[in-house]
Amino acid sequence: MSAVLFDVPGPRARIRHRLYAVIGAAAVVGVIGFVVYRFWVTGQFSAEKWSWPQYEYVQLQLLSALGNTLRAFAFGAVFALLFGAIFAAGQLSDHKIIRVPSMLVVELFRAVPLVVLIFMFHYGLSLGAPVYSVVVALTLYNGSVLAEVFRAGVLSLPRGQSEAAYAVGMRKTQVMRLVLLPQAVRAMLPAIISQLVVLLKDSALGFLITYEELLNEAQRIGRSFEFGRPLVPVTIVVAAIYIAMCLLLTWLATYLEKRNRRDKKVIELEKKPAEDVVAAAV
């Protein structure tokens, strides 16, 4: 099959590809080494600038800020998934009075930058606490993207799924809610998790309206003269925390995908004995 899709590389091509790989790896290592060297020269690894994690009150403030980040992410993710499912179903409706407004809402909030939404809800509508503006903006923007993901997932399913559901007497809402959307979620799970990763990182924009999340706390610690203004060390630590949270979401997506494949194999194995019995009877 690989020979059909592209030519199998010969000895010279394989040597050339290995050379490209070595050059690329050396370039990456060189860039990282240069960045580390510049950090060292500018004193970013000094003991004074790395003394802040030793203080308990700093640790508690970071944990509180991390909790606020996770709170905004959790509410934003749940509401965005609900928003996406509802408006995906609305766009697939047979009634124009439902389909057209749903399409307009999705296209509107998908086109407006998230920062603009946050400013509009916080300064324009004055929703109160900054967390409300952050959650509403995350819900509308990411929910609109997820609505397109769900819609694409439903449209990718075989028509026989909906036809079989209609044949047993289900209504359109039941078909969408009980048959199509669950399968679309499983089919589009990698894309959904990728959008949730984006939502998690976008929650950092809350620092623009003084929401006390992780990035806002890092900025406050980084400006502190008490620790020598350790902006770069704090940024490294916060970046590592975000990377760890994104990797956890990726691991969750991989686990759910493997579990879904395993469940499908079990169902297929359970069907085989019944098919063998029918074939023997025929």
Q: Which residue has the higher pLDDT, 8 or 197?
A: 197
Give the mean pLDDT of 12-18: 84
Q: How many CB atoms lie within 10 A of CB 117?
A: 21
Question: Minimal CA–CA distance to 139: which of 184, 78, 195, 88?
Answer: 78
Q: Residue 224 above 90 pLDDT?
A: no
> For residues 185 and 253, what is the distance between their CA atoms, to the nearest angstrom?
12
Residue 176 confidence (pLDDT): 76
Domain boundaries in the chain? 13-41, 55-261
Q: Residue 262 above 80 pLDDT?
A: no
Q: How many CB atoms lie within 10 A of CB 170?
A: 16
CA–CA–CA angle 206, 207, 210 (5° rounding): 100
Residues 249-279 as b/e (b if ≥16 CB within 10 A, e otherwise) read beeebeebeeeeeeeeeeeeeeeeeeeeeee
Residue 277 confidence (pLDDT): 39
Condensed to tens digits (0 to 9), the pLDDT of residues 102-127 reads 999 999 999 999 999 999 999 888 88
Residue 141 confidence (pLDDT): 95
Element (DSSP H or E) covering residue 70 = helix 56-91
pTM for the full model? 0.77
Assigned CATH topology for domain 55-261 = MetI-like fold (1.10.3720)
Give the mean pLDDT of 232-253: 89
> For residues 235 and 174, what is the distance between their CA atoms, to the nearest angstrom?
49
Residue 48 confidence (pLDDT): 83
Residue found under tokens 């959904």? 192
Q: Which residue has the higher pLDDT, 79 or 14?
A: 79
Residue 125 confidence (pLDDT): 87
CA–CA–CA angle 266, 270, 274 (5° rounding): 160
Least confident of 54-68, 143-157, 174-188, 192-206: 174-188
Residue 164 confidence (pLDDT): 79
C-beta of residue 139 within 8 angstroms of C-beta of residue 123: no
Least confident of 34-43, 70-79, 161-170: 161-170
Task: Measure the CA dihedral 110/114/119/120, to 10°.
Answer: 10
Residue 275 confidence (pLDDT): 47
Residues 185-218 as b/e (b if ≥16 CB within 10 A, e otherwise) read bebbbebbbbbbbbbbebbbbbbebebbbbbbbb
Give the mean pLDDT of 84-96: 87
Give the mean pLDDT of 209-236: 86
CA atoms within 13 A on the CB side of 237: 24
| Mean pLDDT rounded to a whole number for the chain | 83
Q: Which residue has the higher pLDDT, 275 or 48?
A: 48
